[in-house]
A and B are shown apart, each in its own frame.
Chain A
């Protein structure tokens, strides 16, 4: 049972790790929503980037780690470039991905890519997707 807003030790440990490997202070966010307004992947996200940051502030790390949001990010740095508080949101999302990927939980199953598609994808797409979505 998840208690809303409760900072348990395990939650605090994950949040510490996210802040440490991203070098970002998520508590600087004041919820203006600019990151979400400019995000190109927003249509596929189940929680918006500013909501993800808010959930982290509240200690709800599981909700963010299990979201689609962190995996549909395209690392375009629009949010990072435009945050009025200078929060590098792209780095926070990468740190969250890394928390999962370092446990070898891959998010890209190559078997799901149809064979006729595989032939035509540029090398750059393979390398970048595998680096971002697999451990």
Chain B
């Protein structure tokens, strides 16, 4: 464990990290402890809205984001950390959209007149991957690795919200490397594969399930054909679509072979020597796969 004063940061969990995506939050807290990062959950946070409203006359749909920004400023913080890609994308874009226009900002502040604090527009929204890369650096991550994942071939799945559109992502939108760099720091081997930026179908999982099953089959098969042992990602909706839904793909597509899907924080936890149960991983085959690699 690191000693000294921890790096503290306000933390916004979002709706799904408290429900089906609990393992993401649990594993993030576990690796944050190892890295001496203290994530302070903001009080009375509300759902970000999950998707950034794209029409320019629609100020009202950004109110959820701005209210969360007020909560961050109430803590005396000027940055907020997210784990979920969709929260990151929505909070970041809505925050910039409102904060960049004094008229919109004052309209929303005026609407929320019962809030004691007016939002200044100055909070910065950050993703955990950015914090790892820019504030800690890969050397520091590498120094915490006690079980290098040698031989494990990892496909990093970015999907949409983590990289697109221009200016909204954590990295270059057509050629990101942050997750591959992380994989290398953990001693594993990043897989170069063609579908890492392709959308999983997102919210169409409710309205057009077949589309998502088609996407999942394509994306997982692409990772597999490129030699991956597993997929890592950063979005609880992607995790449901290309992870959980693999069972349904296998039922309808003869010969489909799945792959384990983990949050990047879970993979980090393994390399840091943490137990599967501390990382919210229950699948025995996945645990066996990774621990065998780590032992090599």
Chain A interface residues (CB < 8 Å from chain B)? 20-23, 40-41, 43-44, 71-72, 74-78, 80-81, 88, 90-91, 94-95, 98, 107-108, 113, 117, 120-129, 131-133
- B236 and A124 contact, CB distance less than 8 A: yes
A-B contacts, 5 of them at CB < 8 A, read A40-B211, A75-B160, A121-B205, A123-B16, A123-B20
- A124 and B54 contact, CB distance less than 8 A: no
Residue B101 at the chain A interface, CB threshold 8 Å: no
- For residue A20, which residues in chain B have a CB less than 8 angstroms away from its CB? 56-57
- A131 and B58 contact, CB distance less than 8 A: no
- For residue A113, which residues in chain B have a CB less than 8 angstroms away from its CB? 206
- B206 and A95 contact, CB distance less than 8 A: no
- B164 and A76 contact, CB distance less than 8 A: yes
- B214 and A125 contact, CB distance less than 8 A: no
A44-B208, A81-B174, A124-B16 in contact; A75/B166 too (CB < 8 A)? no
Residue B1 at the chain A interface, CB threshold 8 Å: no
Quick one: closest A residue to B235, CB to CB? A124
- B236 and A122 contact, CB distance less than 8 A: yes
Q: What is the CB-to-nearest-CB distance from A50 to chain B, in angstroms, rounded to a whole number?
A: 18
- For residue A71, which residues in chain B have a CB less than 8 angstroms away from its CB? 207
Q: What is the CB-to-nearest-CB distance from A124 to chain B, in angstroms, rounded to a whole number?
A: 4
- B15 and A121 contact, CB distance less than 8 A: no
Q: Which of A78, A88, A107, A123 is most buried by chain B, counting CB atoms within 10 A of its CB? A: A123
Q: What is the CB-to-nearest-CB distance from A130 to chain B, in angstroms, rounded to a whole number?
A: 8
- B206 and A126 contact, CB distance less than 8 A: yes
Q: What is the CB-to-nearest-CB distance from B135 to chain A, in angstroms, rounded to a whole number?
A: 26
Cα A94 to Cα B165 in complex, Å, equals 15
- B51 and A75 contact, CB distance less than 8 A: yes
Quick one: closest B residue to A123, CB to CB? B15
- For residue A124, which residues in chain B have a CB less than 8 angstroms away from its CB? 14-16, 21, 50, 84, 86, 236-237
- A72 and B54 contact, CB distance less than 8 A: no
Cα A119 to Cα B231 in complex, Å, equals 25
